[in-house]
């Protein structure tokens, strides 16, 4: 028996497929007027949760983040679901590198500094300006600025992506003011440190899964070419754009260029050094490709930029994007997917574009490709290119159709799918749309479960983090503030329910000792397939009747 062979489990395997359904962004929040999940009409989920429900931790240390004050996200959530164990994630790794000083002591940082100095060009720092700690943290940017000053680098330009998604939706000026104060403190006769461009993260630069390359192109025009609407400062840009677009969240604010009497203050010229300081990978890959791909056809980039480019981390280990990075990403091995492939278990993965990478790349331990083309079938449903509050149903019906077709072939023993509605619509801050999003998931879930039952299968229904369960901010006393929509993730637990219509599983879901989290799901899947979890996996949550 080799190291990859799984032992038979204590439970008999179910006769049909074992399906994991991830209801993205659906947590177990306070049952009040701000909870779209609670407000929605969900007869299918109500019945399912009444039969079995174990709350799972989906944030903080349970998914490898620095502290339990850190919100979970889809990336770390799907890593935990697919890995069966908890790995230190980007935020934790960068924080550790920051505390130890390794963040700016490595060869890549020296390479960036030396290149900018030799060319007489600025160091450009590009990333999300926020303390949401989901894609980036302003503290990491501050550390890079201070390190550049200590290295006596004459010029630094910062290209800011406004959040309004992982933090309050109209909080950008707070972060800009803090950054401007830092820059002012660092400026001097020999140091010219300024903001050069910016815009909302859902309007420029931070597209993912090739859903809307036009976002990246808009960012490219601003950051690299210095082409865009000009303002004397980032604060002036934000205030003007808000006045012109009342109520628009920071994440959707149009892009802007900072200019003085001589023109744009910070286009990225040949010879410059560029560092993308986001640590999360999904919304970093495309801008990396624009800088690094030798052959690039997504938009008219022009000649490949002659710059030194690096990321806070390597965002895609298979594609080696970027080639240089400041912090080594987590090395996730022995994923559930890899074990099943080595047992010859055929698997199906499906979602729409917005979450397709989560049921493939992140579920696979940050691996882009299939391990076995014969055993793994992945189906992507193209997402609509509209604001998700305009289409709260998204592609839930199409995902259900595709999954039922795949399962009906009898080929797949295991499937994993993601309904993106609760997360993507929750991020819009529109409570009514979020309620419709949850009701859509409930509607299609009923059809999916009926199909699974007909095939003698079972399903584990869960989520990767909370979001639509808290759609309004809270006042200091805890009361809802109905004037302030909340667009970020939550710290709430998520449900895990077992759908076993034929009663063929001689076990029940139970939390057991300690606080179960998303990493316990992998061993639970193995139990249902008739295998024992490998050494080091978090325990299955099935307990014999």
d(CA 340, CA 349): 13
Which long-range contacts link 141-148 to residues 24+ away (Cβ below 8 Å)?
141/179, 141/277, 142/179, 142/182, 143/98, 143/103, 143/104, 144/103, 144/104, 144/275, 144/277, 145/182, 145/183, 145/186, 145/193, 146/186, 147/103, 147/104, 147/109, 148/113, 148/123, 148/193
In a domain, residue 136? The reply is yes
d(CA 42, CA 62): 28
Q: Would you tell me how many other CB atoms lie within 10 Å of the CB of residue 441?
A: 33
Q: Give me 398's structure tokens.
A: 């199409």
pLDDT single digits (tens) 343-359: 999 999 999 999 999 99
pLDDT single digits (tens) 26-67: 999 999 999 999 999 999 999 999 999 999 999 999 999 888
Report the pLDDT value the prediction gives residue 3, as an integer from 0 to 100: 85
Q: Are residues 438 and 505 in the same domain?
A: yes
Q: Are residues 98 and 57 in the same domain?
A: no
Given 311, 327, 343, which residue is the final one in a domain? Answer: 327
Q: Give me 447's structure tokens.
A: 């059809």
- Among residues 204, 201, 206, 232, which one has the least CA distance to residue 218? 204
Q: Would you tell me how many other CB atoms lie within 10 Å of the CB of residue 374?
A: 9
- Among residues 264, 193, 267, 199, which one has the least CA distance to residue 232? 264
d(CA 351, CA 122): 41
Q: Would you tell me how many other CB atoms lie within 10 Å of the CB of residue 483?
A: 7
In a domain, residue 432? The reply is yes
In a domain, residue 4? The reply is no
Q: How many residues does the structure list for the chain? A: 545
Domain range spanning residue 361? 18-88+332-544
Give yes or no for a contact between 93 and 311, defined as CB atoms under 8 angstroms apart: no
Report the pLDDT value the prediction gives residue 512, as an integer from 0 to 100: 77
Q: How far from each other are the two terminal CA atoms of the chain, in whole angstroms?
A: 31
d(CA 337, CA 319): 19
Q: Are residues 395 and 280 in the same domain?
A: no
Q: Are residues 243 and 340 in the same domain?
A: no
Q: Are residues 50 and 143 in the same domain?
A: no
Active site (catalytic) residues: 74
* Confidence label for 318 from pLDDT (cuts 50, 70 and 90): low
Report the pLDDT value the prediction gives residue 199, as an integer from 0 to 100: 98
pLDDT single digits (tens) 228-279: 999 999 999 999 999 999 999 999 999 999 999 999 999 999 999 999 999 9
Q: Are residues 193 and 156 in the same domain?
A: yes
In a domain, residue 1? The reply is no
Q: Are residues 58 and 199 in the same domain?
A: no
Torsion region of 269: left, alpha or beta (phi above 0 gives left; psi -120 to 50 gives alpha): beta
- Among residues 525, 532, 520, which one has the least CA distance to residue 10? 532
- Among residues 92, 27, 48, 14, which one has the least CA distance to residue 327? 92
Q: Give me 148's structure tokens.
A: 């550049």
Given 282, 297, 327, which residue is the final one in a domain? Answer: 327
Element (H, E) at 484: strand 480-485
State yes or no: pLDDT of 1 exceeds 70. Answer: no
Q: Are residues 427 and 511 in the same domain?
A: yes
Q: Are residues 256 and 374 in the same domain?
A: no
Report the pLDDT value the prediction gives residue 368, as an integer from 0 to 100: 84
Task: Report, as an integer, the average pLDDT of 331-337.
Answer: 95
Q: Are residues 268 and 381 in the same domain?
A: no
State yes or no: pLDDT of 370 exceeds 70. Answer: yes
In a domain, residue 238? The reply is yes
Burial 272-307 (b: 16+ CB within 10 A, else e): bbbbbbbbbbbbbbbbbbbbbeeeeebeebeeebeb
Given 327, 353, 372, which residue is the final one in a domain? Answer: 327
State yes or no: pLDDT of 471 exceeds 80. Answer: yes
CATH of the domain at 74: 3.40.720.10
Q: Are residues 319 and 188 in the same domain?
A: yes
Q: Would you tell me how many other CB atoms lie within 10 Å of the CB of residue 33?
A: 13
In a domain, residue 2? The reply is no
pTM as predicted: 0.83
Q: What would the DSSP string read from start to end of 371-416?
A: S-TTTEEEEEEPPPSS-TTT-TTTTHHHHHHHHHHHHHTT--SEEE
Q: pLDDT averaged over the chain? A: 95
In a domain, residue 12? The reply is no
Domain count for the chain: 2
Q: Are residues 237 and 144 in the same domain?
A: yes
User: Residue 85 gets which letter from DSSP?
Assistant: S
Output the CA torsion sign for 339, 341, 343, 346.
Answer: positive
At residue 394, what are phi and psi to the nearest 5 degrees? 45, -130
d(CA 205, CA 217): 7
Q: Which of 2-11, 257-266, 273-282, 313-322 has the lowest mean pLDDT?
A: 313-322
In a domain, residue 97? The reply is yes
Report the pLDDT value the prediction gives residue 475, as an integer from 0 to 100: 86
CATH of the domain at 293: 3.40.1450.10
User: Residue 534 gets which letter from DSSP?
Assistant: P
């Amino acid at each position: 028996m080799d190291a990859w062979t799984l032992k038979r489990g204590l439970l008999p395997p179910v006769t049909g497929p074992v399906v994991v359904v991830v209801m993205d962004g659906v947590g177990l929040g306070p049952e009040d007027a701000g909870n779209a999940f609670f407000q929605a009409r969900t007869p299918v989920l109500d019945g399912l949760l009444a039969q079995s429900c174990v709350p799972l931790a989906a944030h903080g240390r349970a998914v490898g983040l620095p502290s339990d004050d850190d919100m979970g996200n889809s990336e770390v959530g799907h890593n935990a679901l697919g890995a069966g164990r908890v790995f230190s994630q980007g935020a934790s790794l960068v924080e550790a590198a920051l505390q130890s000083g390794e963040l700016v002591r490595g060869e890549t940082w020296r390479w960036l500094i030396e290149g900018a100095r030799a060319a007489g060009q600025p160091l450009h720092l590009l990333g999300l300006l926020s303390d949401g700690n989901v894609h980036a943290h302003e503290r990491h940017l501050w550390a890079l600025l201070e390190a550049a000053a200590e290295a006596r680098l004459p010029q630094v330009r910062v290209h800011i992506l406004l959040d309004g998604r992982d933090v309050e939706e109209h909080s950008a000026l707070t972060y800009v003011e803090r950054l401007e104060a830092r820059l002012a403190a660092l400026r001097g006769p020999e140091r010219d440190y300024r903001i050069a461009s910016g815009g909302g993260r859902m309007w420029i630069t931070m597209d993912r899964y090739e859903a809307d390359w036009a976002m990246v192109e808009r960012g490219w025009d601003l950051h690299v070419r210095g082409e865009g609407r000009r303002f004397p400062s980032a604060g002036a840009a934000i205030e003007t754009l808000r006045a012109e677009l009342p109520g628009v969240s920071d994440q959707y604010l149009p892009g802007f260029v900072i200019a003085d009497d001589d023109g744009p203050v910070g286009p990225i010229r040949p010879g410059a050094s560029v560092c993308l300081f986001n640590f999360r990978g999904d919304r970093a890959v495309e801008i990396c490709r624009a800088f690094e791909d030798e052959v690039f056809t997504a938009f008219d980039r022009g000649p490949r930029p002659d710059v030194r480019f690096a990321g806070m981390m390597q965002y895609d280990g298979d594609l080696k994007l970027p080639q240089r990075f400041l912090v080594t990403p987590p090395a996730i091995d022995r994923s559930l997917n890899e074990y099943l492939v080595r047992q010859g278990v055929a698997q199906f993965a499906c979602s729409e574009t917005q979450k397709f990478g989560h049921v493939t790349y992140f579920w696979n331990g940050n691996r882009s490709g299939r391990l076995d083309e014969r055993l793994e079938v992945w189906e992507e449903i193209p997402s609509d290119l509209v604001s998700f509050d305009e289409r709260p149903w998204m592609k839930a019906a199409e995902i259900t159709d595709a999954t039922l077709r795949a399962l009906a072939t009898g080929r797949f023993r295991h499937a994993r799918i993601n309904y993106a509605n609760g997360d993507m619509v929750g991020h819009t801050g529109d409570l009514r749309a979020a309620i419709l999003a949850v009701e859509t998931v409930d509607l299609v879930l009923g059809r999916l479960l009926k199909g699974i039952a007909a095939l003698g299968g079972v399903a584990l229904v869960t989520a990767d983090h909370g979001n639509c369960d808290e759609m309004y901010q809270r006042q200091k006393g805890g009361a809802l503030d109905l004037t302030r929509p909340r667009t970020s993730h939550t710290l709430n637990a998520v449900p895990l329910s077992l759908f076993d219509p034929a009663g063929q599983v001689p076990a029940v879901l139970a939390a057991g000792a300690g606080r179960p989290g998303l990493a316990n799901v992998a061993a639970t899947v193995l139990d249902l397939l008739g295998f024992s979890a490998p050494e080091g996996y978090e325990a299955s949550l099935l307990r014999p009747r």
